Every structure is written in structure tokens, then in C-alpha cells.
Amino acid sequence: MGALGAIGFSAPWLLAGLAALPVLWFILRAVPPAPLMRRFPGVALLLGLADRETQAERTPWWLLLLRVAALAAVIVGFAGPVLNPAQMAAGGGPLLVVMDASWAQAGHWARAQDRAARALDEARAAGRAAAVLALTDLPGGRLVFAPAGAVAEALPGLAPRGWEPGEADWRALLPEGAFETLWLSDGLARAPRAGLLAALGARGAVRVVQPSGAVLALGAPLLLDGALRVPVLASGAAEPVEVVARGPDPAGIERDLARISAMPGAEAVFDLPPELRNRITRFEIAGLRSAGAVALTDDSLKRRKVALIASSTAREGLELLAPTHYLRQALEPSAEILEGTPEDMLLAAPDVVILADVAQVAEPEKLADWVAKGGLLIRFAGPRLAAGLTGADDPLLPVRLRTGGREVGGTMSWGAPRTLAPFAPDGPFAGLVVPGDVSVRAQVLAEPAPDLAKHTIAALDDGTPLITRARLGEGWVVLFHVSANAEWSSLPLSGLFVQMLERLAVSTRPAADTSTELAGATWVAERVLDGFGVQRAAGELAGVAGEVLAARALGPTLPPGIYAAGERRVALNVVAPGRALMAAEWPADVAVESGTEAPSALPLKGALLAAALALLLADVLASLAVSGRLRGARVAAVLLALALLVPAAPPARAEMDPARAMTVAGGVALAYVPSGDAGVDRIAAAGLLGLSQVLYARTSVEPGPPLALDLETDDLALFTFIYWPVTAGSQAPSPAAYARINRYLRGGGMILFDTRDADFAGFGSATPEGRRLQALAAPLDIPPLEPIPRDHVLTRAFYLVQDFPGRFTGQAVWVEAAPPDAELAEGMPFRNLNDGVTPVVIGGNDWASAWAVDDRGVPLMAVGRGQTGERQREIAYRFGVNLIMHVLTGNYKSDQVHVPALLERLGQ
């Protein structure tokens, strides 16, 4: 690749074509612009007229310059100019591309891969052999060189890993002989670098490419003083970043729960309510695809809700003897404690319910249900439990208990207080050390049973069960055979008590002393992080011992992710707690290319060719102008064509005026759809005004002034009721408006379609309005219709009406059809019909005319004749009131089918 300063050429020999430009200049100069042939009878008068000017004989110099510039742009463009071409000294011998391929490189992996591909391309062009070494994914044996083309093909298969390179026997791994090295570094300082650098340096020149920006990562999240603190780490100065807390929402969909901006080097502090906090599954730096930018959360961040329930009659003043005192002390730092009656507690959806010395629960079935759905019930024995024992089988006890208990080591007994036996290695308490000073003086005893041993998870040294547990549905019931206070044993006074609660997943410790916590169990990866910070199912990764997990030596066998053992979950994050990120320092003799993302190579070919095209276009116009062919209309046409090329700005989206929206949303809004006929619209407005006045006078509905609806801009959700007078010439709304109307109808809105024609056409044909209505309503989501049945809720929503007249009367009015399975309820005059509001009412009775009043409340239009007519108007108003009531209250009146049942229940 030839290079001229910051611009290089991929085909520099093409530039030789520039030498031909002067030749072109002379050729172009010699050729005048092509003449225009024109038929003209007046030529007879022109004969013998000589041209006075000779200027146009030759192409004007500026036109020549334009053409030469266009040609030069084409030549230079095809020569493949590249701004800031990648510099690569063409050395000899094979090339080894070393990539850290760690999580820190994931953030700019594409660029690193690009850089490697470029280096391999050049190596291939130079005929050099090459090899790629990903330090996080070391090959099994010695690396061998292959043709650079083949190596480049395998490059896209490389992916960054969630761990960092470690030590290895470089001598055995690196290829034989001398070679040149291109090391694509991730920019982080770490110990194994020096060894590898020395090994590489011994074989040949080493060239390092390192990104100039700082490496960002999230540290281990910490729960302190009720706030989550996530340290944001950086290997250098960096801009503030946004830290996102992600987790499932109540519907189980993963989404952002919180976002906080934080300075690198500081902590992002999330102060969230426990419900939200417990849902967080991971923190990440927004927009950074790297496993280091992800911090997974585990049990240590969850504060579980624990319902503490003690027997109601607490003994006053004996704080230390209260059955819940030690429990509270043990749980308070790490869990949310709820106290109260079991019934109240269950409503708060606790994770754990602890019954301390409670003999009987008010509604044992509910508690049992809750446990069966996955709850954890922990019971402690005590004097009341012991006294309340009947020997019967209690589902809320893991084992049957004998009535009475036993006392050992008391004043009235012979034996010494009992100590605890070591825990079984397969039980939940495996690995916990039993302190010698824990003694048990009294306990309740389990009835011997074949499966007693299976239920026992802790026993005294004489073998009597101390803690038993049994499965109930999907949950557990655990019983401590001693009391929760220090009366029966010293267990609650020991640290073991807290550890046991932890093991039972009652509480979690904020700052986990991991090594002892994790030891003794086998942990299986549930979900693992890849180098980009994406969680994947762990697949068939082998389980690891707790000690290995505690050592945090991330690698192919121990990828970062979530590890589970029993009920416990531990997050293994990429960045170990307390780690500080440092930028990698290289010795002075190593050539460091700053930044794979430093000015990236920018091909200029496209821009130059486009410029050439533009110049040629200008040449066309200029040539036309010079030869006199560019005249009036043509100039306009050319300009018009150019104007059309400029993309038109998208039309501004019509929005509802906020002030109007406020007015509409402030009350009950009756609206009509303008029909385009001023007379019809005036009557519609007057009709809705009359109906509003009647509603105001007779009901508690107080509508605002009627509004003309703009289907294209208004937010229909704000309108209670829409009156739509249909004329033969009604304009159909736009498709977007139809979509909004459908949404409105689905959302419980109502439209009253009025053809105002009394359906004159009669059988088998339709009036023009009727046909127009069919056309208008075709795109709407209208359910099957039927004429209002006699027991429809519209007939009794406020008034009892059976006729629905407007100015006309006697025509059928159509509403949503009743479901086919509607049945007549026993002893009721009407069926249990539609659950909900009919979305449309369709008729032709010209209701607005019957309702219409002027400003003084005087009816505008005559209805019928004399008293009969006034009665008809009254019924029309009643229908209107029923309609609005139906919109506002839905099927409330329909619920009267349940009146007998309600009365019956009240009678009890």
C-alpha cells in the first residue's frame, strides 16, 4: 500500500493516469462544444451573416477545468485512497498475532478483530505465514504457523472470554524459530504479561496495539445501610457512565429497574425499595458489551421478608425471654422482619414464616397452602407448643411429636445438658462447626417413626432429633425442637444459630466470608457469562467444590456466572472484590500502537467518485448553458428535479392541543363527529347540549360542553361518548384514525351512529345514509349486532324504557348481540347479558334533533304533535340518559341478577 502522509492508496499505480490530464486539456480545448441542429425557415435571411465573436469556438477554460477536475477525481478515486491507513512495517518471517481475548477486550472486540484481520491480510499479501494465539483459550500443544489466508479465515471464530489470561509454559507453547509478534492487548495490567513478553521478545520484534481508552468494569455489589453500592472501576480517567440495574418486572419480563450515573472510581448507589431490590439480577454499564461491565447479584443482596409470629400473650418486661428476641437479633441485619398475625403476614407475601412457640394457627389451611406453594415455615418449640400437643398428625409439623417433652440437665433431672452431634455431611448444615458450649436442656420429642431419621437434619449427641424438616408441597416445614429463646437451650446464643438460619436460607449475610461459607458443598453453575456479558444456560458444566469456587480462579472450568447449591445462590463475578484495574505498562523497547480505535482507516474512494459525479453533473449544466440549450423552462425543470431529490421533511405528527386535552379530561365529555354538513353539525352540538342539560338536572353526571371531535388529532381515550351523525356525504376518516377508533371501542368507548333517516328505505334496501354508514363502519371492529332485546341493560340503566325514539320512533336500534349462552336466571326478569358496554349503538331515529335545545334551553326542533310529541321527546331524553349511564356504569344494572344471592348472604 503506497502512502502519502495521512493518505494511502491501495492501487497507487493508477495515479499515473493523472499524467494524461494535460493531454486531455489540449484535446478538450481543440474541440468546440457540439453544435445544435435546428430547422429554421428563416435561414435564408441568415445566409452571409458572419459571427462577430470567436470566443465560443473553444471550450471556455472554466469548463475545461471542471472536466479535468472530474476526471482527476475519478482517477484518484479508483486509486483507492484511504485516510489514516494502518501502518504496518513489512517485516520478514512469520507473524504471530497474540490477542488477550479477555472480557476487557470484549468492549472493543470488533475493532481488535479488525486490526488482526488487517495484519493477517497484509501478511497474506506479503506471502508470510501466520498464527493467532488467544491467551484465554490456549491451544493444547505447540502453536504452528499456517498460511496467513487460512489463519484469517479462522479469525471470526474467536470470541473473548469472561476471564483473563493466566500463566502458562510459553516455551512449550510458542512456535519454533524466530517470528514477529503483533500483540493486541486489552489494556489491563496483569502479572503474567511480563513472562510472555520476555518469551516473545526472545523470538523477534514485538509490536503492541493497545486501546487508548480506559477499561471499565463493575465491582462486586454490596448491600450497606439499605442501599446497594456498585463500585465502578476504571483503569484510567474516563467519562461518567450509566449503571443499569436489570431484573424481571412483576410480569417476569426482564427490563431496566433503575439507572444511575456514576463516576468511574466511585460507587453507583441504588437506594431502592426491597421489592425492587430483590428483583435485581444484574448490574451493567449501559452500552458496554463486556463481562466486566456486568455484576451479577446473588443471595447476598436479597433481603428476604421474614414474618415473625409469636404467641400473642407476650410477657411484659421480659424482653430477653420473649420467644422472638434472638430471632430478631439474628435476622435484623440481613432480612426484612414483619410481625403480626399469620393472616396479615401471608398477605405481605413473605419468603419465610417463623412461628416461635405457637401451638395453633387460626387458619392452618391457608398457611399450609402458602407452604405448599413454595414457602418456608420454620417453627420453634416452647412451653405453649409443648402444652398444646395432642399427639395428632399436624401437617404444619414435620414429624409427629409426643405429648410432653423431656428435660435433661435441669434441677430435677439426673443427666447433664446435651450437646449437639456433628452435622451429617449431606445435610443442609454440612460443614458447620459445632461449638462445644451449645447445650440443650429441654426439648420436644418426636414420635419414633421409620422416616424420622430422614427428616432429621440436626440431632443431639444422643441421637434425639433437634431439628427436623419435611417437604410440604413445594415448600418446607422445619421444626426446631427447642425454643427460640435461651430458656431451653443455649443454641440461640451461639453463632451457630445464625449460620443455621442462613443455611436454611432464612437470612443472608451482607458481607459473606466466602471461603467458609462456600466450603463443603458442590456448586453447580446455573447460568454463565460469556465474554460479552451475555448470560447463557450453563449446559453441562461440571459442579465445582466450594473451595474451588472460593478461590475464584476463573477459567474454562470455572466461568463467571451464577452457581447454586441447594437453595443457595452465589454469583461469581468477573472482577474479584477489592481488585483495582490498572492500565498496562509496556517496556520502552516495545513499539506500542496507541489504540485500535485511534483514527480508523477511512476509505475515500466513494467520496471522490461522488465528487466526480457531481462535477460531471455540473459539467452537463454548464455545457448546456454554453451551447445555449439551457433556457427558461428547462432551467426550471432541472431545478425542480434537483429539488425533488432533496427528501421532503416528514409531516409533523398531528397532536391534540394540550389545553383542549386538559378540558376534555377534566370531566365527562360528550362529543360528536362532524359530518361536514353545517346544519347537521349544529343540530348534533345542540342535541348533545340538550342531553347534557338533562343529565346535569336529573343525574349526578355533569358533562362539560359538547365538543366537535377531530378524529385525526384528538386523543379519543379522553371522550366518554361519541355521537356520529351519518350523512350520505360523510367523509371517511384516515386509516390511522380508524386504528384509533378501534382502540377506543376496544377500550370501552361507545359510539352512537345515527343515520337520521328513520330507515325509510324499508325492506331489502338501504337509504343513502345507511349505505354510507356501512362503508364508514366497514373498517371498524364491530361485534355481531342485534336489535336491543327487551332485557338489555340499556332499557334500565337509569330509566325503565322500552322504546328508543328520537325525532322518529319505532325503528330498531342495534347493539352488540348477547352471547349465545346467555340464560334467563332463576326468578329474574332478565338474562345475564353482555359483560361490558356495547361498543356501538346504531339507529336512525335522529336523536340529536329530539335532544337539541338552543342557548335558553328551548327545544329547537318539533317532535311529533302536541302532548304526544312532548312525551316522545321526554322518552328520547330518557334514552339518552340511559345511554350515558350505560357508558359510565357498564353492566352495573345487569349485576342485579345477583341480588337474590346478595340478599341471601346478607341474611346470614
Partner 1 sequence: MSTAPALTLRREAEVLAAPLPPLLVAAQQLAASVQMGGHGRRRAGAGDEFWQFRAAAAGDTARAIDWRRSARSDAQYVREREWQAAQSVFFWVDAAASMRFSGAATRPAKAARARLLALALAVLMVRAGERVGLLAPPAPPRPGRAQLLRLATLLAEADAAGDYGAPEVAGLAPQGRAVLISDFLGDLGAVEAALAAAAQRGVTGVLVQVLDPDEEAFPYDGRVIFESMGGSLRHETRAAGDLRARYLARLAERRDRLARLAQAAGWQFGTHHSGQPATAALLWAYAALERGR
Which residues would be at the binding site for partner 1 (CB under 8 A)? 32-47, 49, 51-57, 626-629, 631
Minimum distance from CB of 9 to partner 1 (Å)? 40
Q: Which residues contact 120 (CB under 8 A, 6 or more apart)?
A: 95, 97, 130, 132, 148, 149, 151, 152, 155
636 burial (CB, 10 Å; 0-12 / 13-18 / 19+) is: exposed
CA distances from 221 to 147, 243, 512, 547, 569 (A): 47, 12, 12, 22, 15
CB-nearer residue toward partner 1: 386 or 622: 622
Minimum distance from CB of 626 to partner 1 (Å)? 7
Minimum distance from CB of 620 to partner 1 (Å)? 15
Minimum distance from CB of 652 to partner 1 (Å)? 41
In the numeric block, the cell 346467555 is attached to 822
Minimum distance from CB of 624 to partner 1 (Å)? 9
Minimum distance from CB of 622 to partner 1 (Å)? 12
742 burial (CB, 10 Å; 0-12 / 13-18 / 19+) is: middle
905 burial (CB, 10 Å; 0-12 / 13-18 / 19+) is: exposed
The strand pairing partners of 558, in sequence order, are: 555
CB-nearer residue toward partner 1: 36 or 191: 36
Q: 499 with 467: CB under 8 angstroms?
A: no
Minimum distance from CB of 747 to partner 1 (Å)? 60
Starting at the earlier edge strand, list the strands of the sheet with 7-9: 2-4, 7-9, 81-83, 602-603
CA distances from 415 to 207, 406, 410, 440, 523 (A): 79, 11, 8, 11, 42
CA distances from 100 to 115, 134, 235, 265, 285 (A): 13, 6, 16, 24, 21
CB-nearer residue toward partner 1: 32 or 435: 32
Q: Which residues contact 730 (CB under 8 A, 6 or more apart)?
A: 675, 676, 772, 776
Minimum distance from CB of 639 to partner 1 (Å)? 19
Rounded CA-CA distance 588/761 in Å is 99
CB-nearer residue toward partner 1: 37 or 392: 37
Q: Which residues contact 250 (CB under 8 A, 6 or more apart)?
A: none
Report which of 178, 166, 90, 182 is spatially closest to residue 132, judged by C-alpha positions.
Answer: 182
Cell of 321: 425471654
Q: Helix, strand, or coil here: 518?
A: helix
In the numeric block, the cell 343525574 is attached to 699
Rounded CA-CA distance 549/558 in Å is 8
CB-nearer residue toward partner 1: 54 or 765: 54
Minimum distance from CB of 614 to partner 1 (Å)? 24
Cell of 210: 493497545
CB-nearer residue toward partner 1: 47 or 89: 47
CB-nearer residue toward partner 1: 43 or 588: 43
Minimum distance from CB of 635 to partner 1 (Å)? 13
Minimum distance from CB of 60 to partner 1 (Å)? 12
CB-nearer residue toward partner 1: 48 or 157: 48
CB-nearer residue toward partner 1: 556 or 628: 628
CB-nearer residue toward partner 1: 27 or 56: 56
CB-nearer residue toward partner 1: 34 or 648: 34
Main-chain phi, psi angles of 544, to 5 degrees? -125, 150
Q: 345 with 309: CB under 8 angstroms?
A: yes
763 burial (CB, 10 Å; 0-12 / 13-18 / 19+) is: exposed
CB-nearer residue toward partner 1: 194 or 621: 621
Minimum distance from CB of 632 to partner 1 (Å)? 10
